[in-house]
Each structure stands twice: as C-alpha cells, then as structure tokens.
Amino acid sequence: MTPLHGANTIGGMPSATGEQHFESVNPATGATGDVTYTDATPMEIHAAVHAASQIATADSRFNREQRATFLENVARELMDLGEPLLAVADWETALGRTRLASERDRTIHQLRMFAADVREGSYVDAIIDTAEPQRRPVPRPDLRRMLFPIGPVAVFGAGNFPLAFGVCGGDSAAAWAAGCPVIYKAHPSQPQTSELCGQAVLGAMKTQGLPGGWFSLLHGADDAVGRELVRQPELEAVSFTGSLAGGRALFDEAAARPRPIPVFAEMGSLNPLFVTPGSLTMRSTRLAEDLAASVLLGMGQFCTKPGLLVVPDMPVTDDMIDAMIRHMEQHPGGPLLNRRIRDNLRRSLDSTLATGDVTCLTGGTVPDEPGWRFRPALLQTTAAHFLADDVLLAEHFGPVGLLIRCPDMTAMADVARRLGGQLTATIHIAAGETGLIRPLLDILQRKAGRIIFNGVPTGVEVCAAMMHGGPYPASSQAQASSVGITAVRRFLRPVAFQNTPPELLPGLLQNENPAGILRLVNGEYTRKPLPE
C-alpha cells in the first residue's frame, strides 16, 4: 500500500495546486485525520475531464475483453488492500469493520459481475432488421442498432456506502463496464478511503497499460468543486447518490448547461412499510424486532431504511409499539457519518415534532459525548395528521422511524397516494389478505422501484433483476437502476446504422456474430449468424 499523499489524481498523476485544504474527521471521536487534502481547482477539474474525453474517442483501444479484465483486476487490487483499507474506512465512518468487510465483498462481487456481463456482450442490446428491397410501397433499408459508451462520466461518492458506492463501487464499475472513463468526486468525509481505493484502480490500470485519462480522483470539501465538474463541456453524464438537495442541485446545474447532460441521481426516500391487520395479529412480536432492527441498521443511514411504518390502529398495535420501544431503547445510539448529517437530522426531527400531533415515543436526543452521536427515535402520529401536513413528508436520514396509525385499509391507501416516488415500498400480509391489499399494491407500483412482501427493505441484492431507483424524488431518472446489470445502461446510448457496408459495421452487428451474443434479428432473439 502506497502512503497517502492527499493530492488529487489527474489523468493518473498526483496534483495539488489549490489553496483550500481539509482533513477527514472521525465521527466517533471528533478527531481530525493526519492527512491534509486539497480541493481541486477549476484548472485541475478541466484537465481531468479533458484527459477522459481524449481517450473516450479511442473506443477500439478498450474492447470488451480489456474492460472485463480491468474490472477483475480492480477487484483483485481492492482485495489486496486488506485490513488497512477496513481500518481507514472504519476510522472515517465508524461503520464497523464487519459491516465494511461485507461491503468490500459486495463491491468485489459487483465488479466481477459486470466483468462477466461485459465479456458475454449481450448488454449492447443489438437489434437487426435486414433489408427488404422488394417491399411495397416502400422498400425497407438494412438497419442495425446497438448501444455505445456515452463518454466521460462524473461519479459522486456516497457517504453512507464508502466502498459499495465508493471509488470502485457500483457507479464507477457500471461506467467502466459501459466503456466510459470516470472522474470520481470523493466524498469529503472519506478522502483517505477514497485515495486508498484509487490506488487499487491505478494498480489495475498499470497492469494493463491503460492511459491515465481512464480514471481521475478529485477532492473537495467545497460544493463549488462538484458544480465546476458538472459544468465541464466535455462531460457526458453524472451519477450521484446522496440527499435530495444535493442531487437536485447537480441536476439543475446539468440542465442549465448550454448542452444539458443526464444526471442519474439517487436521492431521498421514505421507504414506507405497510402492515395489514392479519399480519400484525399473527406476528406482532417478530414484526417489532424486525422493524426496529431495520430502522437501526447502520444507524439508520441506509437509503432503504423504512422511515414510515404504516400500521392499523388496533389494540395489538400498542403491544408491537411497546416492543419496538424496548428494542430501540436497548440500542445505545452512536455516531452518524458526519456533523452535517447529525445536525440536519436534529433539525428535521424538531420540524416534525413542531407540527403537533406527533409524539416522540423514545430517543431523539444528542448525547453529550464526543463525535456526531444521536440516540434512535421512534415517533407516532395519525393518518389524518400525516395527510394534512407536508412537513411529515420529509426524510429523517438516520435512526428515526415514524409510525402512522390508520383506522382502516382505505386510510392506508390514502397515505400511499400522498407519497412521492420511493426506492422501495414494503407490505406485510397474512394468508388470505391478497384481495385486501390489491388497491394498495396498485398504488405502490406507481410509486416505488422495488416492492417487498413480508420482509424489510434494507439490504439490496446485487443481481440482474434488482431495481434500485424510483420516481422522483427517489431518483432523477425513474427508469434507471444504480444496482445490478441494468445499471450499465445509464452510460450507454443507441446508434443505428442504415445500409452500412459490412466491413464498416461494429463486429457485434456483423452477420457472422463472432462473439455469439444474443441479438434481436427481424423480431426474433437468436445467437445464430445471419446468412450472407
């Protein structure tokens, strides 16, 4: 492991010409890190994007096999960082080495998953409609279409997943898999973790002799660094995971450019969880345990934390709530990722309680201890109050859950209609209740990207079928997922070739189909070559 230097990495080379400096802070103790980082200057940002743009046009230099091998090499280099990476990440996040080891393993898995998908090749979505010169009244031309890399991508690091959505995480891996160079803007709470992961990327690049523009790493505690990055004329797309305010600011910045570019932002989500009367009657004790654990997981800093718990107003509800209170009071609380998150959570909680008719059943205090600590809170209100006050639609990013007591399933459906777009929605039902929840399910299908039955939304399986996104404000592009194989499609765009000489066609569109990929040919999926 190379010693940390605190500089930006521009086209493979360290650079620190700026005058603004910062250090990371241990959220558990408030101690300042021993490595000073330098905010990237506008000139450095321009150089990073320009270097990426220069190699983005040389697509032939980065064929599918090279990209697949690169992703596998990044996975190997990341694993080789060993315990020092976990130690640094834990110091900067207080998430614990066990959690971080699991996150590292997930990151390695998704790198290898993307490598396998790139090597197989069908992700290019090749479609061929051969010519019909005899067709009347108008002959059909030969048309062949597939997806190509969009170009340089800016990836903004997520504070709550320093590895899985970090330098080597899902957004970067998807962009590289698509064939796009990455300019990574490190989260200012985790610059040391980002630099270490950047070493893994640089090591993989060196192994294959890839040019420096394939990856750059920018630091910056000032939001101006991110805004300047999005403004770069040669940038083609932005990926972001974080708050609604942060994602919307980048989206607006990209839209205001002379040439707007897409922003794939995963933002806020309440992740409502609905419990039917039958489910509550049958397993209130288990529900209390599972719901409390999901709200508390990672100190409530999962983007899929169930922030709204919508329950029937019946006697057994009090038993479940009492059990949830006991579980949450046994939790000592702990540090949040940074001071901004802790302070924002305190303000949002105060705003919620100030509406009236919202009761804090337990917790919600800031301990008089070092670091950015917070005690988990469980709140309660009625469906009528929730439906009447927009303040209750705000996300509490942290270990806070809001219980909404509903007199009947109609009120539950009204609560669902009141919500904006969500990453997830969860329904707990008992046998024989499928008809009861059908109206609710119909609403949630229009609201959420993923619907869970009899489980909890925390935990996102990295696989081909996963959808991690949703209608606004959960994300800025409702059709896009930031997890799973389809995440690659964010960074691809279609090009159609009409009556193109065979020798000028991309190999994956040629009659021979040398890679044997699955293609849609004249309306049928096949891997067979076309006759000459």
pLDDT digits (tens, 9 = 90+) for 85-95: 999 999 999 99
> In the structure, what pLDDT confidence band is assigned to residue 368 with cuts at 50, 70 and 90?
confident
Q: Tell me how far apart the alpha carbons of residues 3 and 345 are, in angstroms, rounded to a whole number.
A: 35
* Model pLDDT, residue 60: 46
- Residue 163's nearest CA partner among 109, 122, 106, 214 is 106
Tokens matching residue 97: 């080495």
Known catalytic residues? 266, 303
User: What's residue 268's pLDDT?
Assistant: 87
CA-to-CA separations, 168 to 6, 76, 306, in angstroms, rounded: 18, 11, 27
Three-state DSSP at 72 gives helix
Tell me which DSSP letter residue 32 carries: B
Q: Are 242 and 156 in contact (CB under 8 A)?
A: yes
The angle, 0 to 180 degrees and rounded to 10, between the axes of the packed helices 64-80 and 82-93 is: 80
**Given this model, what pLDDT does residue 59 score?**
52
CA distances from 237 to 183, 234, 479, 489 (A): 10, 10, 16, 12
Who contacts 251 (Cβ-Cβ below 8 Å, separation ≥6)?
A: 263, 265, 476
Q: CA 195, CA 2: separation in Å to the nearest integer?
A: 10
User: What fold is seen in the domain 273-453?
Assistant: Aldehyde Dehydrogenase; Chain A, domain 2 (3.40.309)
Give the pLDDT confidence of 102-138 residue by residue, as tens digits. 999 999 999 999 999 999 999 999 999 999 999 999 9
Q: Encode 379-410: b = buried (16+ Cβ within 10 Å), e = exposed.
A: bbbbbeebeeeeebebbbbbbbbbbbbbeebe
Residue 333's pLDDT band, with cuts at 50, 70 and 90, is confident
Q: Which runs of E-coded beta strand occur in 313-355? A: 334-335
pLDDT band, residue 364 (cuts 50/70/90): confident
- Mean of the pLDDT values across residues 158-166? 95
> In which band, very low, low, confident or very high, does the pLDDT at 491 lie, cut at 50, 70 and 90?
very high
Q: Give the bridge partners for 215, in sequence order.
A: 182
Mean pLDDT of 300-319: 96
Q: Are 510 and 531 in contact (CB under 8 A)?
A: no
Residue 181's nearest CA partner among 201, 205, 225, 151 is 151
**CA atoms lying within 13 Å on the CB side of residue 450:** 28
Structure tokens at 190: 């985790």
Q: Are strands 373-374 and 334-335 parallel, antiparallel or unpaired?
A: antiparallel
- Would you call 143 helix, strand, or coil by DSSP? strand
The β-bridge relationship of strands 215-218 and 182-185 is parallel
Residue 456, phi-psi category: left (phi > 0), alpha (psi -120 to 50), beta (remainder): beta
For residue 459, the model assigns a pLDDT of 87
SS3 (DSSP) at 304? coil
Q: Are strands 143-149 and 492-498 parallel, antiparallel or unpaired?
A: antiparallel
* Percentage above 70 pLDDT, the chain: 99
Instruction: Determine the Cα–Cα distance for residues 521 and 38; give it in Å rounded to an integer.
Output: 53
Domain ranges in the chain are 15-24+32-127+140-267+481-489, 273-453
Q: What average pLDDT does the structure give for the chain?
A: 95
* Mean of pLDDT values over 328-351: 94
> How many whole angstroms from its chain centre is CA 532?
45
Query: Distance between CA 176 and CA 123 in Å, rounded?
Result: 13
Task: Give yes or no for a contact between 153 and 491, defined as CB atoms under 8 angstroms apart.
Answer: yes
pLDDT in tens, 242-281: 999 999 999 999 999 999 999 999 998 999 999 999 999 9
Local structure of 215: helix, strand or coil:
strand
Residues paired with residue 400 on neighbouring β-strands, in sequence order? 377
- Residue 111: which region, alpha, beta or left (left: phi > 0; alpha: psi -120 to 50)? alpha
Neighbours of 356 (CB within 10 A): 8
C-alpha closest to that of 351 among 367, 364, 335, 361: 364
* CATH number 3.40.50.800 is the correct assignment for the domain at 15-24+32-127+140-267+481-489: no
Q: How far apart are CA 218 and CA 230, in angstroms?
A: 13
Asked whether the beta carbons of 16 and 47 are under 8 A apart, the reply is: no
Task: Tell me how far apart the alpha carbons of residues 381 and 396 are, in angstroms, rounded to a whole number.
Answer: 15
pLDDT tens per residue, range 7-50: 999 998 999 999 999 999 999 999 999 999 999 999 999 999 99
pLDDT of residue 58: 53
CA distance 349 to 246: 20
Are 29 and 370 contacting, i.e. CB atoms less than 8 angstroms apart?
Answer: yes
Is residue 438 within 8 Å of residue 449, measured between CB atoms?
no
Q: Provide mean pLDDT across the span 386-410.
A: 96
pTM of the full structure: 0.95
Q: How far is CA 282 from CA 105, 279, 324, 454, 473, in A?
A: 37, 5, 16, 12, 34
